[in-house]
Amino acid sequence: MDTALLTAALAKRKLPAFRERQILHAARREFAASWDEVTTLPKALRVELAEEVPFSTVTVEHEERSKDGSIKLRLATHDGFPLEAVLMRFDQPHARGTDKKLSRYTACLSSQSGCALACTFCATGSMGLGRNLTEFEILDQFLELAQRRIGTGDGRIDNVVMMGMGEPFHNYDNVMAAIKNLNSPDGPGLAARRIAISTVGWVPGIEKLADEPIQVKLALSLHAPNDQVRGSIMPVNRKFPLDRVLKACRTYRTKTGRRIFIEYLMLEGVNDQPEHAKELAHLLGPDNGFHVNLIAYNPTGTDYIGSSDEVVRHFAAILERKGVSASYRISRARDISGACGQLAAPVAAAKRKAREAKIARMAERDAEAKATGHAERLETPTEGERFEADLEARAAEAASV
Ligand code: SAH
């Protein structure tokens, strides 16, 4: 909800300040989904305000729930700009002494509709920039996701990552304002250290964040160990080459004492070779407050191919040997990149249809072979082939919300 609109609507009616507090409490702490659910207000007032102040600044256009409990939303601003928000579920081990399975949820939010930075592997990058999202459009993505968690009896959303569409530091003030609202005890009350901002390496933003009193996490999309490779996949590297980005990171580290999370997308034959790992270890240095997250590439209609598991493990082992902590969490990365690839929706949906048709054709052929007594024919798809086709279809689905 846009609080400027709300304040004006209440002031016009000369309503006392506690009304605003009631409304914001319902929206931001109880996760009411509409004016109807703000039951502390007289019905007539609710109806009046609904005319003037949209309950949410974003409209949900498409909602998809994956089997694992994750939720993906495609949304639009009131002037029609598309964005995305994803709720990722992480299953925890059973709580001690119970058979209750705990889940934790992370909300992945967008800071812009589209993005100006044109990273070559990113679907959002290929759209160009629509516009910056307002602080309310960012906060409302979280509230839309939180509303969908109500009444499930499952864990709450306790982490937020600014890893949806856009470059958060191109929209610094609105992102920080939204984060302050997420952090506020009058709002969802999320601990600042559970909120992460992911940046392409926009130096002025890193420098500014270093001076903020709020303890948010910083993640840097590095994706390459040298200027040559980085420049070839991320045009922003021409403006802010690696030495400038890392200098800003070190200053941030000195000022805040906080770790920086390095995101490193593993692209076959581009940045995933042992020499790249060695170069990366050298660039970051041992025990230096960086943690590397190796990320699986989510196909977005480019020519890149994700590195094999074996290559990733070897890469991680080299980093560890050289004293750089690294992790590779395929499920998380897939979910995140699912968010990144979303705006390739028409392409991904078309691909999904093609793959589903392929699976159906294989099943038909299977049945036919059985009927004609040639079940063991060589061209009958193997379990492996069927599994692979199914996996592809599901990956396309994940990218298509
Ligand atoms: N602009 C910010 C946040 C956006 S995306 C940034 O650059 O950090 C969040 C992460 O997903 C970034 O690390 C981004 O580089 C990565 N990403 C982009 N496209 C991807 C893809 N196809 N597969 C996996 N990760 C991708």
- Measured in Å, residue 214 CA sits from the centre of ligand 1 at 24
Residue 180: half-sphere exposure toward Cβ, Cα within 13 Å: 10
Mutate to test the pocket of ligand 1, among 133, 169, 295 (most ligand atoms within 8 A of CB): 295
Is the pLDDT assigned to residue 339 strictly greater than 50? no
Mutate to test the pocket of ligand 1, among 127, 198, 267, 334 (most ligand atoms within 8 A of CB): 198
**145 domain residue, yes or no:** yes
Mean pLDDT of the residues in the chain? 85
Give, using CA atoms, the residue closest to atom 26 of ligand 1: 337
| DSSP-derived secondary structure for 6-39 | HHHHHHHTT--HHHHHHHHHHHHTS---SGGG-T
- Could you tell me if 131 and 26 lie in one domain? no
Pick the residue with more confidence: 303 or 357?
303
Which CATH number characterizes residue 304's domain? 3.20.20.70
Q: What is the pLDDT of residues 181-211, one digit of tens each?
A: 999 999 999 999 999 999 999 999 999 999 9
- Could you tell me if 374 and 226 lie in one domain? no
Angle between helices 383-398 and 330-340 (to 10 degrees): 50
Percentage of the chain modeled with pLDDT above 70: 82
- Residues 63/49, Cβ–Cβ less than 8 Å: no
Is the pLDDT assigned to residue 399 strictly greater than 60? no
The confidence band for 393, taking pLDDT boundaries of 50, 70 and 90, is very low
Query: Which atom of ligand 1 approaches the CA of 115 most closely?
Result: 1
- Could you tell me if 179 and 123 lie in one domain? yes
Residue 342 CB–ligand 1 contact under 6 Å:
no
> Which are the contacts of 101, defined by CB distance < 8 A and separation ≥ 6?
91, 92, 94
- Measured in Å, residue 192 CA sits from the centre of ligand 1 at 22
CA–CA distance, 62 with 343 (Å, rounded to integer): 12
Mutate to test the pocket of ligand 1, among 340, 342, 347, 400 (most ligand atoms within 8 A of CB): 340
Active site residue 119: no
pLDDT at 229: 98
Which of 88-92, 239-243, 329-333, 397-401 tops mean pLDDT?
Answer: 239-243
Residue 143: half-sphere exposure toward Cβ, Cα within 13 Å: 30
pTM summary value: 0.83
- Could you tell me if 72 and 143 lie in one domain? yes
**190 domain residue, yes or no:** yes
Q: What is the pLDDT of residues 53-84, one digit of tens each?
A: 999 999 999 998 887 778 899 999 999 999 99
> Which are the contacts of 398, defined by CB distance < 8 A and separation ≥ 6?
66, 298, 334, 335, 338, 341
Question: Could you give the number of structural domains in the chain?
Answer: 3
- Measured in Å, residue 339 CA sits from the centre of ligand 1 at 9
pLDDT at 145: 96
The confidence band for 11, taking pLDDT boundaries of 50, 70 and 90, is very high
pLDDT at 288: 81
**Total Cβ atoms within 10 A of residue 370:** 13
**187 domain residue, yes or no:** yes
Identity of the amino acid at 135: E
Ramachandran angles phi, psi of 184, nearest 5° = -65, 140
- Could you tell me if 156 and 24 lie in one domain? no
Query: Which atom of ligand 1 approaches the CA of 341 most closely?
Result: 22
pLDDT at 151: 72
Q: What is the pLDDT of residues 311-338, one digit of tens each?
A: 999 999 999 999 999 998 654 435 444 5
* Beta bridge partner(s), residue 217: 196
Is the pLDDT assigned to residue 350 strictly greater than 70? no
- Could you tell me if 145 and 283 lie in one domain? yes
- Could you tell me if 311 and 239 lie in one domain? yes
- Could you tell me if 228 and 331 lie in one domain? yes
**Alpha-helical runs (H) found in 133-241:** 135-147, 172-183, 203-210, 227-233, 236-239
- Could you tell me if 103 and 246 lie in one domain? yes
| Range 310-349 burial, b when 16+ CB lie within 10 A, else e | ebbeebbebbeebebbbebeeebbbbbbbbbbbbbbebbe
Is the pLDDT assigned to residue 355 strictly greater than 70? no
Alpha carbon 355 to its chain centroid, in Å, reads: 25
- Residues 316/327, Cβ–Cβ less than 8 Å: yes
Query: Which atom of ligand 1 approaches the CA of 163 most closely?
Result: 9
The active-site residue, picked from 108, 119, 122, 340, is: 340
**What's the rounded mean pLDDT across residues 20-27?**
97
CA–CA distance, 153 with 150 (Å, rounded to integer): 8
Is the pLDDT assigned to residue 305 strictly greater than 80? yes
Query: Which atom of ligand 1 approaches the CA of 219 most closely?
Result: 8
Give, using CA atoms, the residue closest to atom 8 of ligand 1: 199
Give, using CA atoms, the residue closest to atom 3 of ligand 1: 163
Query: Which atom of ligand 1 approaches the CA of 306 most closely?
Result: 23
- Could you tell me if 273 and 128 lie in one domain? yes
Pick the residue with more confidence: 112 or 346?
112
pLDDT at 328: 86
Give, using CA atoms, the residue closest to atom 19 of ligand 1: 122
Residue 44: domain span: 3-52
- Measured in Å, residue 287 CA sits from the centre of ligand 1 at 25
Pick the residue with more confidence: 337 or 237?
237
Active site residue 137: no
The confidence band for 384, taking pLDDT boundaries of 50, 70 and 90, is very low
pLDDT at 397: 43
Pick the residue with more confidence: 267 or 360?
267
Identity of the amino acid at 163: M
Identity of the amino acid at 336: I
Of 314, 336, 358, the one marking the end of a domain is 336
- Measured in Å, residue 100 CA sits from the centre of ligand 1 at 34
Per mean pLDDT, which range of 107-116, 153-162, 350-359, 380-389 is the poorest? 380-389
Residue 293 CB–ligand 1 contact under 6 Å:
no
Residue whose token pair is 């502390």: 40
- Could you tell me if 324 and 365 lie in one domain? no
pLDDT at 367: 80
Q: What is the pLDDT of residues 129-176, one digit of tens each?
A: 899 999 999 999 999 999 998 777 777 899 999 999 999 999 999 999
Tokens representing 262 are 């390095």
- Could you tell me if 46 and 62 lie in one domain? no
**342 domain residue, yes or no:** no
Tokens representing 240 are 């802010």
Q: What is the pLDDT of residues 214-233, one digit of tens each?
A: 999 999 999 999 999 999 99
C-alpha pair distances (Å), 391 with each of 149, 385, 388, 394, 395: 27, 10, 5, 5, 6
The active-site residue, picked from 84, 167, 263, 392, is: 84
> Which are the contacts of 137, defined by CB distance < 8 A and separation ≥ 6?
57, 58, 77, 83
- Measured in Å, residue 205 CA sits from the centre of ligand 1 at 17
- Measured in Å, residue 341 CA sits from the centre of ligand 1 at 9
Nearest by Cα to 317 from 309, 326, 308: 326
Give the three-state DSSP class for 82.
strand
**What's the rounded mean pLDDT across residues 341-362?**
53
Residue 337 CB–ligand 1 contact under 6 Å:
yes
